[in-house]
Amino acid sequence: MSPRVAVVGGGIGGLASAAMLHRAGIEATVYEQAGALTEVGAGLVVSPNAARLLRRMGQLDRFAERAVPLRVGWEFRRWADGRVLFSQRLGELCERRYGEQCYVAHRADLLDVLRAAVPEASLRLGRRLVGMRVGPDGVELDFGDGSRAVADAVVGADGVHTTVGRFVAEAGPPRLSGLCAYRCLVPADRVPAFALRPVQTLWLGPDHHLVHYPIRAGALVNIVAFGPARGWQAESWSAEGRIEDLRAEFAGWADELTALLAGADRVGRWALLDRDPLPRWTRGPVALLGDAAHPMFPFFAQGAAQAIEDAAVLAGCLARRPDDPAAAVRRYEAIRRPRVGRVQALSRDRQQSNHLPDGPAQRARDSSFAGEDPLTHNGWIYGYDAEHAAS
């Protein structure tokens, strides 16, 4: 018999879980605290390892209408003069090697297609989980509006501040990392032409780096800039920063970058959080997934992709052991932990290497780019088939 699955959180990981479970013939209900799934966030990367799962959900074509495939590729530039330190063409090569493109998109466009893969009747909005326990008939969930639910298995996809994580592993609150992100969406008619190319461009400089790429079929350019938090503590996608603070952080950088920032008039500012790895991701038939299980710095652009992979593996494990959800989620954790740990470590290392001050270490880093082929040496990320891993 199919287990009743409750998914807590209707973000990328939660919606992907419900979609993959539904596809596997397992009934799943999503409980999301927000009253509406609104257009929050900015750009994100959907690499081939996630794109292949969107295709299997039947959603890739719809997603590709609004996303931008990185046909030209990746480019690294030096902060002071804009010199190109490294570039790699992706386009057909990526597709030939991994069967899918690498896309950049608005978070809302990804959420939209994931939501389309979940039956409307399976979504419960305005349900904030406030407590849970094991009862005689399954896992009992209490919501802030006084309602309750009972499930045979629970997926905690409730993000970095996870409530389910407190039940599973006594997860403490995340801590401030000392870094913050500035995020802008700039209309295409206000940016220099170089920023409209289908390229993910990364500018590297002392204590800072900045990434930009076009989204929304080229109608907007997403800019995300990282630097010292300088006491900023708000961690919310609706928190506004000051455009003059962003420009001050990047004062003295290359003229092209200054011209790009001149087109921005609103900026979101978000303190980056960090959390030590949890001792476990599962307890009985309850499993953590996505940022709830493994928050990561966004420097390798894999947060969303890893959450979608988690969802595919979890659904595969539950489909194989519908009679024993606790065994299924233990298998999910065993499959996912080593891989995600490796991606987390890579993301963390990038903080230091992206922010080197000018000097011998920076010059050694820049000259090492000459022999780089990230499309190949990150093949273990892009070539991974999460459904295959769970079969």
Task: State the catalytic residues.
Answer: 213
- Candidates 153-161, 243-251, 252-260, 322-330; binding stretch for ligand FAD (CB under 6 A): 153-161
Does 49 engage in binding with ligand FAD (CB under 6 A)?
no
Does 291 engage in binding with ligand FAD (CB under 6 A)?
yes
Are 305 and 49 in contact by the 8 Å Cβ rule? The answer is yes
**DSSP letter for each residue of 292-305:** GT----GGGS-HHH
Are 113 and 62 in contact by the 8 Å Cβ rule? The answer is yes
Strands (E), the chain: 5-8, 28-32, 43-46, 68-69, 73-78, 84-88, 103-106, 123-125, 129-135, 138-143, 148-151, 153-156, 175-187, 199-205, 208-215, 220-228, 268-274, 282-283, 286-288
Nearer to ligand FAD, 57 or 356 (CB): 57
From 114, 133, 135, 138, select the one nearest 30 (Cα to Cα).
Answer: 114
Distance separating alpha carbons of residues 294 and 292, to the nearest angstrom: 6
Binder among 41, 48, 69, 198 for ligand FAD (CB under 6 A): 41
Site for ligand FAD, residues 185 to 224, rule: CB under 6 A: none
Nearest distance in Å: CB 310, ligand FAD: 8
Does 129 engage in binding with ligand FAD (CB under 6 A)?
yes
Nearest distance in Å: CB 117, ligand FAD: 15
Does 19 engage in binding with ligand FAD (CB under 6 A)?
no
Nearest distance in Å: CB 128, ligand FAD: 4
Distance separating alpha carbons of residues 342 and 352, to the nearest angstrom: 17
Q: What is the largest CA-CA distance in the chain?
A: 66
Binder among 5, 8, 85, 151 for ligand FAD (CB under 6 A): 8
Nearest distance in Å: CB 352, ligand FAD: 20
Nearer to ligand FAD, 298 or 325 (CB): 298
Lookup: tokens for 6: 């409750």
Are 321 and 331 in contact by the 8 Å Cβ rule? The answer is yes
Nearer to ligand FAD, 92 or 145 (CB): 145
Does 241 engage in binding with ligand FAD (CB under 6 A)?
no
Number of chain positions touching ligand FAD (CB under 6 A): 31
Binder among 29, 33, 49, 201 for ligand FAD (CB under 6 A): 33
Looking up tokens 């046909």 gives: 71
Nearer to ligand FAD, 297 or 362 (CB): 297
Binder among 19, 44, 335, 340 for ligand FAD (CB under 6 A): 44
Does 298 engage in binding with ligand FAD (CB under 6 A)?
yes
Does 163 engage in binding with ligand FAD (CB under 6 A)?
yes
> How many CB atoms sit inside 10 A of residue 244's CB?
9
Q: What is the 8-class DSSP label of residue 356?
A: P
Residues that bind ligand FAD (CB under 6 A): 8-14, 31-34, 40-44, 107, 128-129, 157-159, 163, 237, 290-292, 298, 303-304, 307
